Structure 1
Amino acid sequence: MRKQDGRDRKNGGMQDTRGARNWRIWGAALLLTLAACDQPNASQPSAPPQAVGEEPGDAPVPQPQPQLQSWTALAPAPTTLYEGQGGTVGGKLYVFGGFDKNVNNRPIATRAASVYDPAADRWTRLGDIPNFVTHAGVAVDGQSVYLAGGFLGDHPGPETNAVWQYDVAGDTWTPLPGLPMGRGAGALVRLGRELHFFGGVDRDASGRYLSDHADHWVLNLDGTDSWRTAAPMPNPRNHLAGAAMNGLIYAIGGQHLGDEANGNQTEVDVYDPTTDSWQAVSPLPIPLGHITSSTFGWRGRIIVAAGVTVGERESAQVFAYDPATDTWSTLPALPGPRQSPVADVIGDALVVATGATSAGPTDSTFVSR
């Protein structure tokens, strides 16, 4: 969450110029390959650990170098939003909760939920989520979206330990075993049939950040009624991203306490469940936080879109990490900077929705292929 420093995030945010809403518009766009823009980091702490197999659907299938075209603004979301949670299930992007406006410079939480169908370029409202939550960790599988932890209510709200499973087919929510302790702005990753939650922060009643946490908890989705403890994450931090690829879990970026100006992190750590250990790999090209719901896998890469960087500035940058070479590359930037959007891959298209600018929350939907 951005500290309230007098910059009023007005409800409605920035108005985006909308392009033609036809998926064939990309046919004439200039193709840019990752291979052409690969720029390895100068600092590479060590080679990434050897990958291990995981359940079908998690491990990437070897493919040619992916291609990415320029971004296009399509149908706006039903409401302006930032600090929401979401991901892709069944070829659609689901977005839950977050802050939809500011009143007297105070971010106001919403229970609204919506889904974006790129085939029709259409957003649809869903039933409200169970609570007014922001900053939750989020993970998906083929049928469900999982939310864990976060902050409750308008800013500054308390952290929660609640864990929820959203069933896409039934549009229903089911409570799962709660985290051992409340945590806001942590990361949630699904690896096979287990959920991993790590990082996060707690605050006092006034909203003052108290401590970043390295705790790493694991829940078996096949009947276990409690979370077990795993190896703690290096460099305790919050507002970080998590991703799973090739049987490994990545903790990416984040920030220390509430310091969005100077506390954003470049660190990337990888967890190997076979050894219950973490190892540092090549850092992000720039410090980034507020990337929890805008980091995802695509064609064997981990994509990190937008976020907040040094000086409390929203970022438009899009980066791709290649675990095979332990290097980062830069992809075409978004049309505008965004704090805490919701992003994922749908088919072979990348979708980045909502998020805030310095003027306030937006309803933008950016799509690229």
Structure 2
Amino acid sequence: MSKFKFLIVLLVLCKTALLHAESTDLGVWRNAAPSLEKRTEIAAATLDGKIYAVGGFSQPTLSNVLDFAISRTVEVYDPATDTWAETTPLPEGRHHAGIAVIDGYLYVIGGFTKGGLSVWRAVATLYQYNSATQTWREMASMPSARGALGVAVHEGRLYAVGGYDGAKNSNAVEVYDPQANTWKSVATLPTARDHHAVVTAGDKIYAIGGRPELNYRKNMAVVEQYDPTINQWQTRASMPTARSGIAAGVIDGRIYVVGGESGEGTFNTHEMYLPNEDRWVAMTPMPTARHGLGAAVVNDQLHVISGGLTPGASFSQVHEVFSPAR
């Protein structure tokens, strides 16, 4: 082989290695066992090493048409066996609900249910699930009824942020103390919205993206950070892609935001926020674009479950798992 050809081969090998390294740095996706039922607008959270996928809309059938396909279903995923099972259903069907885990209990907060001929009746209910007894009980309701809200946990308290009250967007931020079973209001969300993501990273709470008045043709990129110690919000770097109907999870203090919908279609977009640097990084896209999906972190991997493949009423059993680079 001539020196020239050798150099060409060497350059090609180096370029290939560099591209592979860049791809690896952006993390990788894999498929996991699909959920048992096709759903969208679910809520998902991790409890005792297992993922709970709760409520939403089921694919319409003759058996659920009277409930407008609003789901009571609760499915549990065990990552150790890559299997799903059903557990005790919600006391009443909910879609666009918030979800959180505190002190070994699962909480489902607010959301929408049917009211007359509408599926957009906002509720204020708070349900607590005990995994040991597989039972639900109703706790103190939120001061304000809201669906498509965001929920996060900070120092053992639940923060219910924003949403839609059935007539307009709410900028309410209400905090639940599970020990006292009481709520209180704190500083309001500067940008009222719904279908946003809310997570805790470090000692701050972040409200990301969303839409005004349920309108996905007016998606937002706004990011606002709440500091519970001083009860104040401040604006941070906007998300690169304006999105709503999204899901998010936190791994090693980094926030991963996936999916969404707009008037043009659904997103496979996946962007990571670095809170300490206040900047965003484009990550490996989701294999399957969708909105109304649930996200939960277990074993430092982000599980993204169900959701609609097209804007509006669409349903899936898709279950994809993201592993960040190490």
Cα RMSD over matched residues?
Answer: 2.0
TM-score, length basis structure 1: 0.76
Counterpart for residue 164 of structure 1? 127
> 1:289 pairs with 240, 244, 263, which one?
244
> 2:111 pairs with 134, 150, 163, which one?
150
Counterpart for residue 60 of structure 1? none
Residues 143-164 of structure 1: per-residue CA shift (max 9 Å, x gap)? 1221111101385231101011
After TM superposition, give the deviation of residue 33 of structure 1 in Å.
Answer: 6.9
State the AA in 1 paired with 2:305: A
Partner Cα separation in structure 2 for residue 31 and residue 148 of structure 1: 42
Structure 2 contact 97–112 (Cα < 8 Å) conserved: yes
State the AA in 1 paired with 2:59: K
Structure 1 contact 92–116 (Cα < 8 Å) conserved: yes
After TM superposition, give the deviation of residue 362 of structure 1 in Å.
Answer: 0.5
1:234 aligned to 2:190? Answer: yes
1:180 to 1:237, Cα distance in 2 relative to 1, 3 A: same
Q: Specify every segment of 5 or more residues in structure 2 that has no aligned partner in the other structure, as ranges.
A: 1-19
Counterpart for residue 30 of structure 2? 72
Partner Cα separation in structure 2 for residue 219 and residue 103 of structure 1: 37
Partner Cα separation in structure 2 for residue 253 and residue 103 of structure 1: 33
Partner Cα separation in structure 2 for residue 128 and residue 156 of structure 1: 19
1:269 aligned to 2:224? Answer: yes
> 1:124 pairs with 61, 69, 85, which one?
85
Larger Rg: 2
Partner Cα separation in structure 1 for residue 130 and residue 266 of structure 2: 32
1:82 aligned to 2:40? Answer: yes
State the AA in 2 paired with 1:284: M
Structure 1 contact 86–145 (Cα < 8 Å) conserved: no
Counterpart for residue 192 of structure 1? 155
Residues 205-246 of structure 1: per-residue CA shift (max 9 Å, x gap)? xxxxx21111111122221x4311101001111111111122
State the AA in 2 paired with 1:354: S
Partner Cα separation in structure 2 for residue 31 and residue 174 of structure 1: 49
Counterpart for residue 250 of structure 1? 206
Partner Cα separation in structure 2 for residue 195 and residue 349 of structure 1: 23
TM-score, length basis structure 2: 0.85
After TM superposition, give the deviation of residue 31 of structure 1 in Å.
Answer: 6.2
> Secondary structure at 1:123's aligned position in 2?
strand
Partner Cα separation in structure 1 for residue 202 and residue 71 of structure 2: 36
1:229 to 1:142, Cα distance in 2 relative to 1, 3 A: closer
After TM superposition, give the deviation of residue 256 of structure 1 in Å.
Answer: 0.2
> Secondary structure at 2:39's aligned position in 1?
coil
Residues 55-112 of structure 1: per-residue CA shift (max 9 Å, x gap)? xxxxxxxxxxxxx22x2222211100100111111221110111011469x9621111
Q: Specify every segment of 5 or more residues in structure 1 that has no aligned partner in the other structure, as ranges.
A: 1-29, 38-67, 204-209
Residues 232-267 of structure 1: per-residue CA shift (max 9 Å, x gap)? 001111111111122111111111002112x21100
Partner Cα separation in structure 2 for residue 249 and residue 76 of structure 1: 31
Structure 1 contact 350–367 (Cα < 8 Å) conserved: yes
Structure 1 contact 193–222 (Cα < 8 Å) conserved: no
State the AA in 2 paired with 1:302: I
Residues 31-72 of structure 1: per-residue CA shift (max 9 Å, x gap)? 6578x56xxxxxxxxxxxxxxxxxxxxxxxxxxxxxx22x22
> 1:98 pairs with 56, 79, 83, which one?
56
Structure 1 contact 296–302 (Cα < 8 Å) conserved: yes
Counterpart for residue 164 of structure 2? 201
Counterpart for residue 16 of structure 2? none
Partner Cα separation in structure 2 for residue 186 and residue 368 of structure 1: 24
After TM superposition, give the deviation of residue 348 of structure 1 in Å.
Answer: 2.5
After TM superposition, give the deviation of residue 198 of structure 1 in Å.
Answer: 1.6
Higher helix share: 2
1:88 to 1:248, Cα distance in 2 relative to 1, 3 A: same
Counterpart for residue 6 of structure 2? none
Partner Cα separation in structure 1 for residue 113 and residue 90 of structure 2: 12
Partner Cα separation in structure 1 for residue 234 and residue 249 of structure 2: 20
1:312 to 1:234, Cα distance in 2 relative to 1, 3 A: farther
Q: Which has the higher contact order (CA 8 A, sep 6+)?
A: 1
Counterpart for residue 233 of structure 2? 278
> Secondary structure at 1:133's aligned position in 2?
coil
Partner Cα separation in structure 2 for residue 286 and residue 215 of structure 1: 25
